[in-house]
Amino acid sequence: MSFLLDMNEEHRLLADSLERMGREINEFEARRRRLRATPADRMALWPHLAEVGAFGLAFEDRRGGFGGTTTDIAVLVDSLASCLPVEPIIASLVAAGRTLAAAGCDRADRLIAALIGGTRVPVLAHTEGFDAFAPPHLVRALPIADGYVLSGMKPAVRGADVATDIIVSALLPDGAVGLFALDTASAGIEMERTRLIDDAGAADLKLNDVVAAGGDLLEIDDAMAAIGDAQEWSLMALAVETASLARAMNRATFDYLNVREQFGQKLSRFQALQHKAADMAVAQAEAEAVASSAVSLLVEMPSVDRQRHLLLASLAADAAGRVIGHSAIQLHGGMGVSDELIISHYGRRLAAIRTQVATADARLARLVQLQESEL
């Protein structure tokens, strides 16, 4: 861990065991085989994570966990990043987890307990278009006698392929937004599964008149605020993951430049490559700095400033990730574009991170919106 995280002894112990688990279960070839199998196995780490109690890290004591701080999440994400988990850790623990934690109802409590225990996997399904920060308009919920009927579509929901439950945002008739917890086995839920660029799974989630019980509507004061909070925490986690991947990619690339010889000398002797390596080191330092600031500002800042700074940090992390992802591949030559080396897998994960929660353009558009609304 080379960037500042305020870790205690428990964090350190957990980080060690997560790193060891990642190395063993996600050993490169084993992971690659699982992901290329038909059907692909995208949940191999999950039971092991549950077993060491990793999921409790995402929740406070009063919700049955033993963590719930940004540092807790950062430790979890950072310890696992370099073993490239495709399991929906951020989509489930952070995104769905934060919305559930914002709810005060039985349904949410039970789901959180099952999530911590590893028996249920809820993921958040909110985004409907480019603008991930807008309220839903495609998925609508109409009240019926003792519940609601939901219909509409959520595109390419990360983790939906392995989810047991979907926390889905829907527009209510009065113009408010509701968050519903739906069992993915419910009648009327249709999933068009696909694969993502980082080998994780996703699905177009179609709701064809799905009947939800009244208790499935989570009791949350302001659903859009809870979604916003989940997005901020997710962006924080993604910034941390970017920093971890930056570190891993740089280490691998610098090692490679010091081993690979062409024209009778180490690649690291060529000044053009030295300068690229220097730029990668600069980008890594920036990625670490913005990750560490995201971890602290999420707790310290008042909410309006917080979103603005977090969006800026996430854009900075993306920019650093892009420099490192592309340069690391380029400097490995053909080996960099081979599926047989971890470098291209790291590069693909960075490409996925740049789209997770919202694309860079949508984040920037959100910043513009925030600024305009202040004027």
Partner 1 sequence: MTSIDSFREDVSRFVHDRLPGDIAAKVATGRELEKDDYVRWQKILGERGWLIGEWPKEWGGGGWEPERQLAFLQETGRAGAPMVIPYGVKMVGPVIQTFGTEDQKRRHIPGILSSDVWWCQGYSEPGAGSDLASLRTSAVREGDHYRVNGSKLWTTQAHWADWMHCLVRTDSSGKPQQGISFLLIDMKTPGLTIRPILTLDGQHHTNETFFDNVMVPVENLVGTEGRGWEIAKFLLGNERISIAETGAKLRLLGTLQQMFERVRASDTEPGFLKARLQAKLLDVEMQLSTLVALETYFVRAWAQGRPSGVDGSILKIRGTEILQAMTEVALDLEGPYAAVHDPADLHDGLQVPETAARQASAMAHEYLYGRCWSIFGGANEVQRNIIAKAVLG
Give the pair of three-digit tokens for residue 187.
């009648």
Closest to partner 1 by CB, 289 vs 360, is: 360
Q: Which is nearer to ligand FAD, 37 or 272 (CB)?
A: 272
Token digits of residue 195: 């694969």
Among ligand FAD, partner 1, none, partner that 361 touches (CB below 5 to 8 angstroms by kind): partner 1
Q: Give, for 117, the enclosing helix (H) or strand (E).
A: helix 106-117
Q: How far is the CB of 346 from partner 1 (least distance, A)?
A: 10
Tell me if 254 contacts partner 1 by CB under 8 A. Answer: no
Q: Which does 197 bind (CB under 5 to 8 A by kind): ligand FAD, partner 1, none?
A: partner 1
Structure-token pair, residue 233: 């925490």
Residue closer to partner 1, measured from CB, 186 or 330: 330
Q: Which is nearer to partner 1, 110 or 266 (CB)?
A: 266
Instruction: Give whichever of 150 and 358 is closer to partner 1, judged by the CB atom.
Output: 358
176 counts as binding ligand FAD under rule CB under 6 A: no
- Nearest-5° Cα angle at 334, 330 to 339: 100
> Interface with ligand FAD by CB under 6 A: which range of 41-49, 65-73, 255-263, 349-357?
255-263
How near is the Cβ of 336 to ligand FAD at its closest, in Å?
8
C-alpha to C-alpha distance for 138 and 158, rounded to whole angstroms: 18
Shorter beta-carbon distance to ligand FAD: residue 276 or 366: 276
- Assess 192 for contact with partner 1 (CB under 8 A): yes
In sign, the C-alpha dihedral spanning 135, 138, 139, 144 is positive
The distance of closest approach from Cβ of residue 248 to partner 1 in the complex, given in angstroms and rounded to an integer, is: 16
Shortest reach from residue 195's CB to partner 1, in Å: 4
Q: Does residue number 356 form part of the binding site for partner 1 (CB under 8 A)?
A: yes
- C-alpha dihedral, 273 to 274 to 278 to 279, nearest 10°: -20
Q: 143 pairs with which residues across the strands?
A: 148
Q: Which two tokens stand for residue 329?
A: 């591949």
Alpha-carbon distance values, 354 to 165, 235, 357 (Å): 25, 10, 9
Backbone angles phi, psi at 33, to 5 degrees: -65, -45
Smallest gap from residue 267 Cβ to ligand FAD (A) = 5
Q: Kind of pairing, strands 147-158 and 122-125? A: unpaired
Element (H, E) at 153: strand 147-158
CB nearer ligand FAD, residue 39 or residue 334: 334
Query: Residues 116 to 155: which contact partner 1 by CB under 8 A?
Result: 127-132, 134, 137, 155
What minimum distance in Å lies between the beta carbon of 329 and ligand FAD? 9
Q: Is 191 in the site for partner 1 (CB under 8 A)?
A: no
How does DSSP assign 261-285, residue by residue?
EETTEEGGG-HHHHHHHHHHHHHHH
CB 68 → partner 1: shortest distance, Å? 28
Residue 331 backbone dihedrals phi, psi, to 5 degrees? -75, -15
Residues of this chain that interact with ligand FAD (CB under 6 A) are 260, 262-263, 267, 270, 272-273, 330-331, 333-334, 337
